[in-house]
Amino acid sequence: MAQEESAWSKSFTAKEQVTILKRIIKFASPFKGQFAGGIVFGILLAITNIILPRILQVFIDDYLAKGAATNNIIILFAVIYFGMTIVKIVFWYLNLYLYNMASEKTVENIRNAIFKKLHTLGMRFFDQTPAGSIVTRVTNDTETIKEFWSVFLTILQGILGVTTSLFAMLLLDVKISLWIVALIPILGVVIWYYQKHSSRLYRNMREKLSSLNAKLAESVNGMSIIQQFRQEKRLQAEFDETNMDYYKLRFAMVKTNSILLSPVIDFLYTFSLVFILGFFGYEALNGPVSVGVIYAFTSYARNFFNPMTSMMDSLSIFQDGIVSSSRVLNVLDNEEYTPQQNETANAEITDAKIEFKHVSFSYDGKHNVLNDISFTALPGQTIALVGHTGSGKSSIINVMMRFYEFYEGEILIDDIPIKNYPLKELRKKMGLVLQDSFLFYGTLKDNIRLKDASITDFQIEEAARFVQADTFIEKLPNQYDSRVIERGASYSTGQKQLISFASTIVTDPKILILDEATANIDTETEALIQEGLKKMRKGRTTLAIAHRLSTIRDADLILVLDHGEIIERGTHDQLIQKNGIYYDMYQLQNKGLYLEK
């Protein structure tokens, strides 16, 4: 962890920033037409900004100063100036509209890309990355990139404003213009120092924000446990500490911005204004000076430095955007993909025979959690997996479902390596019921069909009736159209599990995988679904992780695992006769002493 913090505390080099910019700009390529339109109107806006002071200069020097202004002349210049102002407003609007719309679409493109990428990553990525950090990447970081994209517009407007203003000043007086330009190197030094110092602060700020989101998500999801064990003060103290660290970094950033951004530009502008007025004041001692030229020059000087103020202010957003972009790109570059099937995979599951041949597996690549696992499940058979917590039961399910890649041994379905089946075929023909059911926002009907439009209402009702879920659904006011709030909080654990059973059986899978599916269900509800479970298993090959040994007495084969190895195998009666580990577990459970997760 210390190494990670050290790495994030470093500043980005100029080369790294350029690389990040090149990569993030690629997301804008589909909308280059709109960006180009925004840039064109930005150029027209800059030209309009140098024309307006010139109109007033001509009016002051050629007419007011010489006393040649008539009513018609005044009205003419007023109309011209007003007309050019309207044109400026139109150019400004089109510049902002086209550019910002393209920016919004670009950020939408980035957010879609990272969300799509997350669905291709393997479970190991989610095991190692806090949920709050992932949420920050998809929401906060992409939102920051949206603001960051506006920096390019500010820079574009700034460059055009500075360039056109400098050109206009050179036309008026080359000597004074060159003296003003001589102040730019000072600005360059300030920008260099700011980028070097602020990028480190912004990287740390983003990490602390991720930690805040992670702690918040953890607290919300675990609120019942926190209150049950009276952990509120401890969690509050940890949150306060992280929040204070984030505040200190924000405070340091505010101080840096307050010193190095607008105040520096204002100082240089004031200095140049004093110089301009002093220069023309000195010339006025030796002869008349054109008032219109003084007005135009001070206006151009203001137009020269104002964009710099905007650009300097946007440096903070630029640094924040660089950091957020790098964090998004880190996810997009992650290669912790879901296990890949063979390129020519086209097999179909027919009989659903399952065979593990000397399979070994490790989550971290160092310590095996499965060692030389071998067994065969013939079509229609039920294989039960039992053992203490950490014995490897769920790991067998994980490699079977292709959530994780195994590197030793072989898994066969119908005597064909599992990697020769398209992932879509595996998901279609395998039905998984987990210990902790998860319901989505929507209705009960939506959660059973899981947005599969091909599943009819009749099939939904048949599936619910099959697993005994209809006993409570049909008592609800809206029955299958009853609303489901976050995680199905308005339903009991048993009811949620019945819905999960229904969503599994409605697809008519050939292979059924039960990961302690009845562990969290009360005895009364369990009695309701046992008949449904028996019907579900009929004609299907089933792998069942057993919590209550009484539920798998009729299994065709029971595998007893310990530390990733199969230490006993056989039917319930055979294992009881062996008087081994399974016998001890069964006796303890019957006496109410055996505790399993």
**539 vs 289, more confident:** 539
Residue 285, judged by CB atoms within 10 A of its CB (0-12, 13-18, 19+), counts as: exposed
> What secondary structure letter does DSSP report for 519?
T
Q: Which residues contact 105 (CB under 8 A, 6 or more apart)?
A: 30, 31, 34
596 and 388 Cβ atoms separated by less than 8 Å: yes
Instruction: List, as one string, the DSSP characters of 104-150.
Output: HHHHHHHHHHHHHHHTTB-HHHHHHS-HHHHHHIIIIIHHHHHHHHH
CA atoms of 90 and 110, how far apart (whole Å): 30
Q: Determine the pLDDT at residue 520.
A: 58
| Sheet of strand 557-562, all strands in order from the earlier edge strand to the far edge | 430-433, 511-515, 541-545, 382-387, 557-562, 565-570
> What's the token pair of residue 452?
């599969």
Q: Determine the pLDDT at residue 283.
A: 67
In the chain, % helix, strand, coil (3-state, to 5) comes to 65, 10, 25
Q: Which segment, 246-250, 423-427, 533-537, is predicted with the most confidence on average?
A: 423-427
CA atoms of 542 and 431, how far apart (whole Å): 9
Q: pLDDT digits over 471-487, tens only?
A: 788 887 888 777 777 66
Per-residue pLDDT band at 215 (split at 50, 70, 90): confident
Amino acid at residue number 170: L
Q: Determine the pLDDT at residue 211.
A: 77
Residue 588, judged by CB atoms within 10 A of its CB (0-12, 13-18, 19+), counts as: middle
Q: Which of 225-234, 323-332, 506-515, 557-566 comes out lowest in average pLDDT?
A: 225-234
CA atoms of 553 and 555, how far apart (whole Å): 6
173 and 297 Cβ atoms separated by less than 8 Å: yes
Q: pLDDT digits over 39-64, tens only?
A: 888 888 888 887 888 888 788 777 87
Query: Cα–Cα distances in Å, from 318 out to 144, 202, 594?
Result: 9, 10, 60
145 and 173 Cβ atoms separated by less than 8 Å: no
Q: pLDDT digits over 191-205, tens only?
A: 777 666 666 776 677
46 and 157 Cβ atoms separated by less than 8 Å: yes
- Whether 116 shows a pLDDT value over 50: the answer reads yes
- Whether 262 shows a pLDDT value over 80: the answer reads no
- Whether 592 shows a pLDDT value over 70: the answer reads no
Scored b (16 or more CB within 10 A) or e, 511-539 reads bbbbbbbbbbbeeebbebbeebbeebbee
Per-residue pLDDT band at 208 (split at 50, 70, 90): confident
Place of tokens 């219109």: 292
Predicted TM-score (pTM) of the model is: 0.59
- Whether 560 shows a pLDDT value over 80: the answer reads yes
**336 vs 383, more confident:** 383
CA atoms of 167 and 171, how far apart (whole Å): 6
Q: Over the chain, what is the mean pLDDT?
A: 78
